[in-house]
């Protein structure tokens, strides 16, 4: 079976600006795609997030949040501090927090909104003694 990459797409009113927002969150840069309505950022695992402006023939309606992007930083002994700092950084870039950060037995997480109202999650797992970092990433 040929090697397959998993890519993500986000419909956007302004793909250039939205791709720039996500690129900054990931300390990356956005690249121009097929045309002026398509941009993408490459992820370290060879996957990409594509941002595109749907054409007029495409019915585009936001319904529910059954799937979402999740951005994860390296595990930490104090994940809440990192999530707080990261939330502040994303807010300065134009995003906003939804509710308050949650601390659970796996780590800390915060639901966010990008500048166009799309939900995404930021996550920092606990660094637990004896666990392999690879299994948490």
pTM given for the model: 0.74
Sheet (strand 107-113) strand order: 69-72, 119-125, 107-113, 96-104
Domain spans, the chain: 1-55, 68-137
Give pLDDT, residue 109.
92
Q: What confidence tens digit (pLDDT) does each residue in 66-125 have?
A: 568 888 889 999 999 999 999 999 999 999 999 999 998 889 999 999 999 998 999 999
Give pLDDT, residue 93.
96
Helix residue ranges per DSSP H, the chain: 15-25, 79-92, 133-136
CATH of span 1-55: 3.30.720.120
What are the phi and psi torsion angles at 91 (to 5°)?
A: -65, -40
Helix residue ranges per DSSP H, 41-78: none
Q: What confidence tens digit (pLDDT) does each residue in 12-57 have?
A: 889 999 999 999 988 889 999 878 888 999 887 778 888 887 765 5
Q: How many angstroms separate the CA atoms of 110 and 131, rounded?
A: 23
Please determine whether the domains at 1-55 and 68-137 fall in the same fold group of CATH: no
117's CB contacts (< 8 A; 6+ apart) are: 62
CATH class of 68-137: alpha beta
Residue 60 class from Cβ within 10 Å (0-12 exposed, 13-18 middle, 19+ buried)? Answer: exposed
């Amino acid at each position: 079976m040929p090697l397959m990459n998993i890519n993500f797409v986000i419909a956007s009113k302004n793909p250039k600006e939205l791709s720039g927002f996500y690129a900054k969150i990931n300390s990356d840069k956005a690249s121009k795609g097929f045309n002026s309505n398509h941009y993408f950022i490459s992820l370290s695992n060879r996957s990409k997030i594509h941002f595109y402006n749907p054409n007029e023939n495409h019915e585009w309606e936001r319904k529910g949040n059954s799937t979402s992007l999740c951005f994860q930083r390296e595990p930490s002994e104090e994940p809440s501090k990192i999530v707080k700092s990261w939330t502040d950084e994303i807010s300065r870039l134009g995003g906003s927090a939804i509710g308050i950060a949650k601390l659970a037995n796996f780590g800390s997480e915060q639901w966010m909104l990008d500048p166009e109202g799309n939900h995404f999650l930021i996550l920092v797992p606990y660094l637990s003694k004896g666990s392999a970092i690879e299994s948490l990433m």
